[in-house]
Structure 1
């Protein structure tokens, strides 16, 4: 594996959302890839409604004929964007779930990724929630895609919690599906607070609010949590 490929793999694992790969030259990609990568970047950073087709074409270096060949309308490009974001989110979670058998360690790592993005001004909120609010006037066109994303997101998290129950890192009586919904609610709520306040603490609260849930409070402390407490004591 080349060093460039290694850097790209590292970047993918440490980014929550699928933006343009910085190490890949746009002129090496075909028009469809360039258009979609540019749309991913612009829709996420500045919004679906405020991004025009002409800007996508200009920044991707693609021709209008190429755009309409692959994406007959802006709506089709928006749906492709949602599918890309869905895969980016699910891939990140799969990686976290594979590495972290304890849900408390998992949420700690997830929040660290969000904070790292925020500190480099690379985090603009949840792309799915943003897109949903930006397309309220045309919600029916994207309703199916948005619901598919949410369904698969919840199912993946619930299946992870089921595995945690089997491994003993969650109580066997835990309702995995309900806990998954609680986690997403905490995640989305604190992200909205962060977008309003600009305070990193609101992202940190994703972890603390999750750990305050009754399903987590009575568990044996994980190694990560114990290490964090010791580090905090040393700083006092």
Structure 2
């Protein structure tokens, strides 16, 4: 296996373990065993478990944003694009390996000393929020910056609540509920 393929194999394997069983529960020796590599090989790619987790979070987030942007762009402008995040989440929920938000799951395991991981998760959540702002400004006519922030912030909170609660209850009703509440955020706005 080439170095770049091996690097990605480690990220994917460790990421699957972090996502399904938790960051703290997953040990370096388990990652090494699942990857079928030597300890020295792992450490030639990553200095620590934290570095592997950062690579995993980065990879998941980048894939998520690319997929979400593609999904939203294929929807008709206006209300359909504004609500597409919930349809995307519903599709994610119905995938075989849905275990909630990878960032929030990791966040729930962090100690106050793990500031580096916290910073990565905060940055990714902010990028998602900024993207929602773009969707709002592209689908609502003559909208102020303050109103864009209010609507995108509301969509963001509904989305994060829906992903967390659907995982908690092992049911997609929170996604449907959030989707049904979301239009009230832009009810007084003129859509594209």
Q: What TM-score comes out, normalization by structure 2 length?
A: 0.84
Distance 1:146 1:116 in 2: 23
Partner of 1:164: 139
Identify which of 23, 35, 40 aligns with 1:65: 40
Identify which of 154, 173, 186 aligns with 1:201: 173
Mark the runs of 5 or more structure 2 residues left unpaired by the alignment. Answer: none
Distance 1:143 1:210 in 2: 28
Q: What TM-score comes out, normalization by structure 1 length?
A: 0.70
Partner of 1:90: 65
- Distance apart, 1:111 and its partner CA: 3.0
- Distance apart, 1:163 and its partner CA: 1.6
Alpha-carbon RMSD: 2.5
Whether the 8 Å CA contact 1:114–1:123 is kept in 2: the answer is: no
Secondary structure, aligned partner of 2:98: coil
- Distance apart, 1:48 and its partner CA: 0.9
Whether the 8 Å CA contact 2:72–2:85 is kept in 1: the answer is: no
What per-residue deviation string (whole Å, max 9, x for no partner) do you get for residues 66-92 of structure 1?
Answer: 211111111111111121122022112
Secondary structure, aligned partner of 1:136: coil
Residue 210 (structure 1) aligned with residue 182 (structure 2): yes
- Distance apart, 1:133 and its partner CA: 0.9
Distance 1:120 1:158, change over 3 A: closer
Whether the 8 Å CA contact 1:32–1:66 is kept in 2: the answer is: no
Answer with 103-112 or 85-94: which moved more: 103-112
Distance 1:103 1:87 in 2: 25
Distance 1:113 1:47, change over 3 A: same
Whether the 8 Å CA contact 2:81–2:135 is kept in 1: the answer is: no
Partner of 1:20: none
Residue 39 (structure 1) aligned with residue 11 (structure 2): no
Mark the runs of 5 or more structure 1 residues left unpaired by the alignment. Answer: 1-26, 223-236
Partner of 1:188: 160
Distance 2:155 2:171 in 1: 20
Distance 1:40 1:177, change over 3 A: same
- Distance apart, 1:125 and its partner CA: 0.7
